Structure 1
């Protein structure tokens, strides 16, 4: 169970920490731009994200959802469901476009390659990985996440140990030079959370839906939310303390690592590129799943077309896309927070009971696989399946499939 929780947690973090976060550009515009007060915005964002990660992943698991529209239709009014669905589809595509732009900016800053080269390589990687099934995609996304945790920790420790920092007033003045389209630190903190939820919800629902036990999915969400929150706060503090020297860079976190050690800077550039890949893959994979929900056989051609269109649009520019596209999507995400929170509060008792029920079903099915059920056990199994919100085919498929009910 612990292994499954960690797998879900790392996959969730991998979805959110893409080009903007790993590079430091998002944190700069949303938090550092408001000086010391911006750090409080990071704290607010971290707390809300942890709660919402639990909610989204549990709802995905409870409904065994294959795409986000399925959950929206079950938990909200049809009008809200359509609005959220349209907003998430727009977010998936827009964020994927930003990832391609970030891939180009990353290799351009580190090695001077043309912007189109980094973006094109990313397109090839995303197209190849998108041909995998959801369990393999989850594993790929989660596998790269630990590397960025290490490098952000290195950057933070180096900044604190080696820094000869100016006073808070001088850092605040330098922060004021950072460009942002947001009005104040509180709005920025809320907007950043809701934007990231719009980014994460579709793939998070798919990941949660692949888990048979809602309790495991929820715990994975909490762990993932906590990891994300710590990273966000640490990154915000680190970039605030160094804002005088790296405030104008496209990839400020990479600048810190390069200052520490050029060799580590080369590795960091690759790691950031990997995190960009994480989010790009998650966005376009979830988008393809949603657009082909009624005709899964068309997934691959639709996926390829969406990725190629995103590549063309990515040439608008990384910093510009982060500054203008993300805040708009964040305001749309406020509705998502409200709908999912209300739905979970109303369903939390049913989700808890269903988690217990599915654990009992797994135990009984395992007994049946290794031997024979007694008449009482067989009757208990039939009763538990009948009372579940899933049908018998879904349950038996989940237990025997890659979702692994025996471990989930």
Structure 2
């Protein structure tokens, strides 16, 4: 029985939000580095990034559904031409398993800190759950996100709104960058933040093109991006209210939750682990759907082999993996973001020829 439009839109929103709300987003660390440190200008930057997320989601799903794409390999040539598409494709084939390694190491680190599990045991827990989800195919990936993503969002909203209610909304005056151009850095930071987060959503959402009608896809992509902006805005407001106390924290929202009590701290720890898990699933799905766009057992086998091959890398230092791999994510994501921003112009020129 085919899904109704509302269910499809909700599925796309969950998949889009689930890939972006990773450990960095859920911990508040990404938001602090890209937005909170700019003070009131950071709020403007987050609003801009939310609008860009919404626009990119709309364009990405419109192109994917109109071309009935099965993976990002079907989409990239439309965005940037064959030569550059082959290069980004090659980079992505390394980055997606690399992102999985980061998430498995992150799972080990979080579960070790929260409940004392050995790091490799915590990594194994994420690997086993990810494997089980991949065995369920695209429907399994979508189902997990439709269940887990609302939980992540609810925890984020509760921690932030309760903290703001208790502590009050305060927007300190911060001028982090010296020089006459400081007033423009918040906008550049917003662009960098979106580009940094676009690799995995492109891999995830482009795999839906052959399974989703155009209107539902476009609406889901737009709504998912705007939702990310609203959540980011809430985290930015919360971070500003606790500034500068959070500046020395590795996990700023964990400090914020601690002001509400230990129960909220544990709840936020669960949120961060769930964020790691959904990002791990998205990385494996993006990689497997690229090599087996028609799904089925080839997709499942490739997904399981990828998890098995990457699992030993979880022994590496989590922070070290992030420092090595995430700058590459940012540069490749910048190319993708620019290509998506210019996609309507490119499509218009193609139709005129």
Fold-level similarity (TM above 0.5)? yes
State the TM-score, normalizing by the size of structure 1: 0.74
Which residue number in structure 2 is paired with residue 399 of structure 1?
none
SS at match of 2:259: helix
Q: Residue in 1 aligned with 2:275?
A: 275
- TM-score computed with the length of structure 2 as normaliser: 0.85
The answer to whether the 8 Å contact 1:12/1:142 transfers is no
Structure 1: gaps spanning 5 or more residues: 177-182, 352-408
Alignment of 1:382-401 (within 5 A): none
Structure 1's 318 and 163: CA in aligned 2 closer, same or farther, altered over 3 A? farther
**Which structure 2 residues correspond to residues 233-312 of structure 1 after superposition, within 5 A?**
233-293=233-293, 297-312=297-312
- 1:59 aligned onto 2:63: yes
Residue in 2 that maps onto 1:10 = 14
State yes or no: 1:192 paired with 2:184: no
In structure 2, relative to structure 1, the CA distance for the partners of 1:60 and 1:167 (3 Å cut) is: closer
Pairing partner for 1:123 from 123, 127, 150: 127
CA 1:348–1:124: 2 relative to 1, 3 Å: farther
Between 1:21-30 and 1:306-315, the stretch displaced more is 306-315
SS in 2 for 1:335: helix
Larger Rg: 1
CA distance in 1, matches of 2:170, 2:79: 51
Give secondary structure in 1 for the equivalent of 2:244: helix
Residue matched to 2:206: 205
Please identify runs of 4+ aligned residues in structure 1 that moved more than 6 A.
164-167, 348-351
- Relative contact order: is structure 1 or structure 2 higher (C-alpha 8 Å, sep ≥ 6)? 2
> Deviation digits for residues 61-91 of structure 1, max 9, x if unmatched?
1122111101123444211211221233333
Residue in structure 2 matched with residue 149 of structure 1 by the alignment: 153
Deviation at 1:156, TM superposition (A): 1.6
Q: Distance in 1 between matches of 2:206 and 2:74?
A: 9
After superposition, the C-alpha distances for 1:101-121 in whole angstroms (9 at most, x for unaligned) are 322232233334343332221
Aligned residue among 112, 121, 143 for 1:108: 112
Q: For the residues of structure 1 that align with 2:190 and 2:318, how far apart are their CA atoms? A: 21
Count residues in correspondence.
341
Between the aligned partners of 1:350 and 1:116, the Cα distance in structure 2 is 51
Shift of 1:344: 3.5
Query: CA RMSD for the aligned pairs?
Result: 3.0
Match of 2:214 in 1: 214
